[in-house]
Amino acid sequence: MESRWGPLAQYDWSVMAPEFTILIVATLISVIDLLMPNNKNRQVLAWFGIAGSLLAGWFVFQNVGHGVVEILNGSYRIDAFGNVFKLIFLAGTIFTLLMSINYLNRGDGKEEVIHHGEFYYLTLTALLGSMIMSSSADAITLFVGLELLSISSYILVGTRKKHLLSNESAFKYVVSGSIASATVLYGISFLYGLTGTTNLFEMADRLGEAYMAGNALLIYIAFFLTFVGLSFKISSVPYHMWAPDVYQGAPTPITAFLSVVSKAAGFALIIRFFITAFRSIVDYNAPNGPQSVFISELLLVIGILAAISMIVGNTMALRQTNIKRMMAFSSIAQAGYILVPFATLTSLIFEQTVYYLIAYLLMNMGAFAIIMIVTGDRGTEDIRSFAGLYHRAPFLAIAMTFFLLSLAGIPISAGFFGKFYIFMSSLVMGNYWLAGIMIATSVVSYYYYFGIIRQMYMRPGETEAPLRVPAGIAVIVLIAFIGTVGVGIVPDSVLNFIHVNFPFMDIIETAGPVK
Amino acid sequence: MDSILLTLLTFSPLLGLILLIFIPRTQTGALKLIGVLSSVLPLILAFVMYGAFDLKQAGLQFVEKLEWFSIPAEQVQFPINYELGVDGLSMPLVVLTAIIGFFAAIAGTIFVDKRWKEFYILFTITLTGMLGVFTSQNLFLFFIFFEMTLVPMFFLIGIWGFKDREKAAIKFFIYNGIGSAIMLIVFVALFMSVWTLNFSEIKTAFTDSSSPFNAQGSPVFIGEGLRYGLFIALLIAFAIKMPIAPLHTWMIKAYQESPTPAVLISSGVLIKIGAYGLLRFNVGFFPDVAGQLAGLLAVLGVINIIYGCILALVQNSLKLVLAYSSLSHMGIILLGVAAMNEVGFQGAVFQMVSHGLIAALLFFIVSVIFERTSTDRLDDLGGIAKSMPFVSGIFLTAAMASAGLPGMSGFISEFTAFLGLFKEMPIIAAIGTLGIILTAVYLLRAVLNTTFGPTADRWKVLADAQPLEVLPMVLVLGFIVLIGVYPSVLSEPLQATLQNIVPRIGG
pLDDT (tens digit per residue) in A339-349: 999 998 877 88
pTM of this structure: 0.90
Residue A149 in any domain: the answer is yes
Alpha carbon distance A263, A149 (integer Å)? 11
Contact A491 B69 (CB under 8 A): yes
Does residue A488 belong to the interface with chain B, where contact is any CB pair within 8 Å? Answer: no
Alpha carbon distance A274, A301 (integer Å)? 13
Q: What is the mean pLDDT of chain A?
A: 90
Contact A424 B165 (CB under 8 A): no
pLDDT at residue number B464: 87
Residue A183 in any domain: the answer is yes
Alpha carbon distance A428, B188 (integer Å)? 10
Q: Which residue of B has its CA nearest to A394?
A: B118
Contact A440 B181 (CB under 8 A): yes
Residue A76: phi, psi to the nearest 5? -135, 125
Q: Which residue of B has its CA nearest to A444?
A: B174
From residue B236, alpha-carbon distances to A346, A375, B222, B245 in Å are: 31, 42, 21, 11
Q: Which residue has the higher pLDDT, B33 or A489?
A: B33
pLDDT at residue number B498: 83
Q: Which domain holds residue A319?
A: 9-508
Decide: B473 and B361 in contact? Cβ < 8 Å: yes
Dmax over Cα atoms in chain B, in whole Å? Answer: 79
From residue A331, alpha-carbon distances to A241, A344, A367, A386, B418 in Å are: 12, 20, 12, 20, 53
How many CB atoms are located within 10 Å of the residue A6 CB?
Answer: 9
Torsion angle defined by CA atoms of residues A324, A330, A331 and A332, in that order, rounded to the nearest 10 degrees: 120
Exposed / middle / buried, residue A435 (Cβ in 10 Å: 0-12, 13-18, 19+): buried
Q: Which residue of B has its CA nearest to A439?
A: B181
Of A21-25, A201-205, A221-225, the poorest mean pLDDT is in A201-205
One digit per residue, the tens of pLDDT, for chain B of length 507 reads 457 889 999 999 999 999 999 999 888 999 999 999 999 999 999 999 998 888 888 788 888 888 877 776 656 677 888 899 998 899 999 999 999 999 999 999 999 988 899 999 999 999 999 999 999 999 999 999 999 999 999 999 999 999 899 999 999 999 999 999 999 989 988 888 888 889 988 888 888 877 777 777 777 777 888 889 999 999 999 999 999 989 999 999 999 999 999 999 999 999 999 999 999 999 999 988 999 999 999 999 999 999 999 999 999 999 999 999 999 999 999 999 999 998 999 999 999 999 999 999 999 999 999 988 888 888 888 888 888 999 999 999 999 999 988 989 999 999 999 999 998 899 999 999 999 999 999 999 999 989 888 888 888 888 888 888 999 999 999 999 999 999 988 888 888 888 877 766 765
- What is the number of domains present in chain A? 1
Pick the closest to residue B366 from B111, B180, B105 (CA basis). Answer: B111
Contact A405 B151 (CB under 8 A): yes
Angle at B438 between CA B433 and CA B443, to 5 degrees: 130
3-class state of residue A512 by DSSP:
coil
Contact B184 A495 (CB under 8 A): no
Does residue A260 belong to the interface with chain B, where contact is any CB pair within 8 Å? Answer: no
* Backbone conformation region of residue B404, classed left if phi is above 0, alpha if psi is from -120 to 50, else beta: left
Decide: A414 and A406 in contact? Cβ < 8 Å: yes
pLDDT at residue number A149: 96
pLDDT at residue number A1: 43
Residue A381 in any domain: the answer is yes
Q: Convert A107-116 to b/e letters by CB count within 10 Å (16 or more is b).
A: eeeeeebeeb
Q: Least CB-CB distance to B151: which of A410, A428, A443?
A: A410
pLDDT at residue number A6: 66
Q: Least CB-CB distance to A447: which of B144, B148, B170?
A: B170
Q: Which residue has the higher pLDDT, B72 or A117?
A: A117
Residue A180 in any domain: the answer is yes
Contacts of A490 in chain B (CB under 8 A): 69
Pick the closest to residue B155 from B164, B147, B165 (CA basis). Answer: B165
| Best mutation target, B170, B194, B195, to test chain A (most A CBs within 10 A) | B170
Residue A319: phi, psi to the nearest 5? -95, 0
Alpha carbon distance B124, B36 (integer Å)? 10
Alpha carbon distance A106, B488 (integer Å)? 70
Residue A3 in any domain: the answer is no
Q: Which residue has the higher pLDDT, A3 or B131?
A: B131
- Mean pLDDT over residues A75-102, rounded? 94
Report residue A3 CA to chain centroid gap.
41
Alpha carbon distance B266, B176 (integer Å)? 12
Residue A205 in any domain: the answer is yes
Q: Could you report the per-residue pLDDT of A350-407, keeping only the tens digit for each?
A: 888 999 999 999 999 999 999 999 998 888 999 999 999 998 999 999 999 999 999 9
**Does position A323 have pLDDT exceeding 90, yes or no?**
yes
Instruction: Annotate A52-108 with DSSP letters as a single string.
Output: HHHHHHHHHHHHTTS--EEETTTTEEE-HHHHHHHHHHHHHHHHHHHHHHHHH--SS
- Mean pLDDT over residues A160-186, rounded? 93
Does residue A439 belong to the interface with chain B, where contact is any CB pair within 8 Å? Answer: yes
Decide: B267 and B299 in contact? Cβ < 8 Å: no
Q: Which residue has the higher pLDDT, A439 or B502?
A: A439
Residue A4 in any domain: the answer is no
Contact B181 A442 (CB under 8 A): yes
Which positions ≥6 away from B332 have C-beta within 8 Å? B301, B305, B347, B348, B351, B355, B413, B414, B417, B418, B432, B435
Of A104-113, A194-203, B54-63, B416-425, the poorest mean pLDDT is in A104-113
3-class state of residue B351 by DSSP:
helix
Residue A463 in any domain: the answer is yes
According to DSSP, the β-strands at B61-73 and A291-292 are unpaired
Alpha carbon distance A438, B133 (integer Å)? 25
